[in-house]
Amino acid sequence: MPEAPFSTAFAAGLLGGAVPPGVTARDPAEAERRFAVYRNNVAHGLTRALASRFPVIERLLGAAFFTALAPLFIAAHPPASPRLFEWGAAFPDFLRTFPPLAGLPYLADVARLEMARGAAYHAADLRPLSPAALAALASTPDTARLVLHPSVQIIASDHAVGTIWAMNQPGAAPHDITDRPETVAVLRDRALNVQVWPLTSPETAFVAALRDALPLLTAAQAATRHDPRFDPAPLIGRLMQAGAFIAEPEEMP
């Protein structure tokens, strides 16, 4: 059976395997000690990268528990590329299925929210829709489609995911939480700040319909099925101000 490439053996060694062939010293024990230092540095770096991506999860679990948990995730889901901002998509499901966390069912959805925030921050920089273009589209709501910026995502949860996330931000005052289903929108605004907005049921239906490329009138009708009094104008204005609508591709310069 052919030997694994050095890079494969080296990666396996960093994740707890044996010192790869080719890593040598006059004293074999010295090679092991030196490689162990490198292995520990990599593990520490990946643990801090994971904590940077999921700071609320680290706060909810405590730094010590998170530091003990991270190597288990790293071993099961090592980074597939050097772009660490893309790493961590499997973390919510890992938390959901990790037996010691069975009593904290909201953790996975908080992690989904944090993953969405990272994706929103790194989303493509596209030209926002102009007010004149929005006015023109609004004049034909039965056919007009408002295109959402790729940073816009909807996170729906059976738990108070938005409230839990907000309460664990720097400077937030702790308070009691009533765990209930919540939905939030995640988006990057014109100032490149990632926002988390609570959404009502009609607002969720409206944004979801826009995300599915349905006409403006159809989106409004989807929302009014949740609340016949729903007026989309305030939400459209808020999304417009944030730069959450973009020009159609054929309108791009």
Distance between CA 132 and CA 21 in Å, rounded? 65
Distance between CA 78 and CA 92 in Å, rounded? 15
Residue 113 falls within a domain, yes or no? no
What CATH code is carried by the domain that includes residue 131?
3.90.930
Q: Which residue has tokens 């540095």?
A: 41
**Residues 51 and 8 reside in one and the same domain:** yes
What is the average pLDDT value for the chain, to the nearest integer?
A: 88
**Residues 231 and 129 reside in one and the same domain:** yes
Model pTM?
A: 0.84
Residue 118 falls within a domain, yes or no? no
pLDDT higher at 13 or 244? 244
**Residues 61 and 139 reside in one and the same domain:** no
Residue 116 falls within a domain, yes or no? no
pLDDT higher at 73 or 173? 73
Q: Which residue has tokens 């609570």?
A: 198
| Alpha-carbon distances, residue 166 vs 25, 148, 174, 228 (angstroms) | 52, 24, 10, 30
**Residues 132 and 50 reside in one and the same domain:** no
The residue-averaged pLDDT of 241-252 equals 78
**Residues 168 and 250 reside in one and the same domain:** yes
**Residues 50 and 79 reside in one and the same domain:** yes
**Statement: residue 171 has pLDDT above 50:** yes
7 — pLDDT class (breaks 50, 70, 90):
low
**Statement: residue 142 has pLDDT above 80:** yes
**Residues 232 and 167 reside in one and the same domain:** yes
44 — pLDDT class (breaks 50, 70, 90):
confident
**Statement: residue 33 has pLDDT above 70:** no
**Residues 45 and 152 reside in one and the same domain:** no
**Residues 172 and 138 reside in one and the same domain:** yes
Tell me: the pLDDT tens digits for 172-196?
Answer: 887 888 899 999 999 999 999 999 9
Number of domains in the chain: 2
Q: pLDDT value at position 81?
A: 81
Instruction: Supply the range of the domain harboring residue 14.
Output: 1-104
Query: Which range has the worst mean pLDDT, 20-29, 40-49, 130-139?
Result: 20-29
What DSSP assignment string belongs to the chain? -PPPPHHHHHHHHHTT-PPPTT---SSHHHHHHHHHHHHHHHHHHHHHHHHHH-HHHHHHH-HHHHHHHHHHHHHHS--SSS-GGG--TTHHHHHHH-GGGTT-TTHHHHHHHHHHHHHHHTS---PBPPHHHHHHHHT-TTT--PEEPTT-EEEEESS-HHHHHHHTSTTPPP-------EEEEEEE-TTSPEEEEEE-HHHHHHHHHHHTT--HHHHHHHHHTT-TT--SHHHHHHHHHHT-EE--GGG--
Q: pLDDT value at position 116?
A: 98
Residue 43 falls within a domain, yes or no? yes
Query: Which range has the worst mean pLDDT, 36-50, 76-90, 178-192, 233-247?
Result: 36-50
The residue-averaged pLDDT of 50-77 equals 95
**Residues 251 and 133 reside in one and the same domain:** yes
Q: pLDDT value at position 18?
A: 57
2 — pLDDT class (breaks 50, 70, 90):
very low
The residue-averaged pLDDT of 143-161 equals 97
Q: pLDDT value at position 198?
A: 97
